[in-house]
Structure 1
Amino acid sequence: MKSFFFIVVTALFCLVNLNAQDVASYQKQVFEMDNGAMPYRILLPKDFDEQKQYPLILVLHGSGERGNDNESQLVHGSSLFLKDEVRENYPAIVVFPQCKANSSWAKVGYGGQLANREFTFYKKAKPTADMLLLEGLIKHLKEKYNINKDQMYVGGLSMGGMGTFELVRRNPRMFIAAFPICGGANPVIANKIKKTHWWVFHGDADEAVPPIYSTQMVNALQKVSSDVTYSLYPNVGHNSWDNAFAEAELLPWLFSISK
Structure 2
Amino acid sequence: MLKKMKTQAKTAMISTLAAGALLSYSTGAAAQEVKTQPASYQTVTEIKDWGAVNTKLIVDLGRSVPKGSITPDTFSVNVKRSDHRLKTPFLEEGSRKITNVYVSDKKGNPAVKTGRYAVLEMEVSPASSLSSALNYDAAGTGFNDWTENKYTITQQKDIQTNAGVISGLVINQFAGETKELVEDFSTGQATYNHITLSYANYAPEKDKEKNPLIIWLHGGGEGGTDGTIPLSANKAVNFATEDIQDHFDGAYVLAPQAPTYWMDGITGRADGTSKYEEALMALIQEQVAANPDIDPSRIYIGGASNGGYMTMLMTRDYPGYFAASFPICEGLNDSLISDEDIQSMKQTPTWFVTAENDTILPPSLNTVPTYERFVAAGAENVHLSLFEDVHDTSGLYTNADGTPYQYNGHWSWIYVFNNEVDTVINGNTTTLMDWLADQSLQN
State the TM bucket, normalised to the shorter chain.
0.7 to 0.9
Show the counterpart of 1:156.
Answer: 303
Show the counterpart of 2:388.
Answer: 234
d(CA) in 1 for partners of 2:417, 2:266: 25
SS of the residue 1:10 aligns to = strand
d(CA) in 2 for partners of 1:89, 1:230: 21
TM-score by length of 2: 0.51
Which moved further from structure 2: 182-191 or 171-180? Answer: 182-191
Structure 1 residues without counterparts, runs of 5 or longer: 111-118
Structure 2 residues without counterparts, runs of 5 or longer: 1-71, 76-97, 102-118, 124-130, 134-175, 391-408, 421-430
d(CA) in 2 for partners of 1:203, 1:6: 34
Q: 2:219 aligns with which of 52, 62, 87?
A: 62
- The question of whether the paired residues in 2 share the 8 Å contact of 1:56 and 1:151 is answered with yes
Whether 1:255 and 2:420 are equivalent positions in the alignment is no
Please state how far the C-alpha of 1:246 moved relative to its aligned partner: 2.3
Q: 1:7 aligns with which of 100, 109, 117?
A: 100
Structure with more strand by fraction: 2
SS of the residue 2:180 aligns to = helix
Please state how far the C-alpha of 1:187 moved relative to its aligned partner: 3.7
Change (3 A) 1:67 1:231: same
- The question of whether the paired residues in 2 share the 8 Å contact of 1:152 and 1:176 is answered with yes
Show the counterpart of 2:183.
Answer: 24
Please state how far the C-alpha of 1:66 moved relative to its aligned partner: 0.7
- The question of whether the paired residues in 1 share the 8 Å contact of 2:300 and 2:322 is answered with yes
CA RMSD, Structure 1 to Structure 2 (Å): 2.7
d(CA) in 2 for partners of 1:217, 1:121: 16
Deviations, residues 93-120 of structure 1 (Å, cap 9, x unaligned): 101110112x32563989xxxxxxxx96
Change (3 A) 1:180 1:192: same
Q: 1:131 aligns with which of 260, 272, 277?
A: 277
Show the counterpart of 2:289.
Answer: 143
SS of the residue 1:2 aligns to = coil
Show the counterpart of 1:224.
Answer: 377
Whether 1:172 and 2:172 are equivalent positions in the alignment is no
Q: 1:191 aligns with which of 329, 333, 343?
A: 343
Show the counterpart of 1:44.
Answer: 203
d(CA) in 1 for partners of 2:267, 2:74: 55
Which moved further from structure 2: 170-179 or 1-10? Answer: 1-10
Change (3 A) 1:173 1:106: farther
Deviations, residues 1-35 of structure 1 (Å, cap 9, x unaligned): 6148373671249x999970321101112112232
1:64 maps to a residue whose letter is G
d(CA) in 1 for partners of 2:199, 2:415: 24
Show the counterpart of 2:234.
Answer: 76
Deviations, residues 151-207 of structure 1 (Å, cap 9, x unaligned): 010000000001000011111111111000001433422111111111101111111
Which moved further from structure 2: 72-81 or 174-183? Answer: 72-81
d(CA) in 1 for partners of 2:264, 2:376: 24
- The question of whether the paired residues in 2 share the 8 Å contact of 1:200 and 1:229 is answered with yes
Aligned length in residues: 243
- The question of whether the paired residues in 2 share the 8 Å contact of 1:29 and 1:41 is answered with yes
1:250 maps to a residue whose letter is L
1:137 maps to a residue whose letter is L
SS of the residue 2:359 aligns to = coil
1:85 maps to a residue whose letter is D
- The question of whether the paired residues in 2 share the 8 Å contact of 1:108 and 1:120 is answered with no
d(CA) in 2 for partners of 1:139, 1:109: 26
- The question of whether the paired residues in 1 share the 8 Å contact of 2:247 and 2:434 is answered with no
- The question of whether the paired residues in 2 share the 8 Å contact of 1:38 and 1:98 is answered with yes
Which moved further from structure 2: 198-207 or 3-12? Answer: 3-12
2:314 maps to a residue whose letter is L
1:33 maps to a residue whose letter is Y
Relative contact order, CA 8 A, sep 6+: which one is greater?
A: 1
- The question of whether the paired residues in 2 share the 8 Å contact of 1:105 and 1:131 is answered with no
- The question of whether the paired residues in 1 share the 8 Å contact of 2:217 and 2:310 is answered with yes
Deviations, residues 47-104 of structure 1 (Å, cap 9, x unaligned): 225x542111000001111111222111224232222233344211101110112x32
Whether 1:205 and 2:338 are equivalent positions in the alignment is no
- The question of whether the paired residues in 1 share the 8 Å contact of 2:325 and 2:351 is answered with yes
Which moved further from structure 2: 238-247 or 92-101? Answer: 238-247
SS of the residue 2:436 aligns to = helix
What percent identity do the matched residue pairs reach? 26
d(CA) in 1 for partners of 2:270, 2:191: 31
Structure ID, larger Rg: 2
Please state how far the C-alpha of 1:224 moved relative to its aligned partner: 1.1
d(CA) in 2 for partners of 1:107, 1:139: 22
d(CA) in 1 for partners of 2:180, 2:388: 35
Whether 1:53 and 2:205 are equivalent positions in the alignment is no
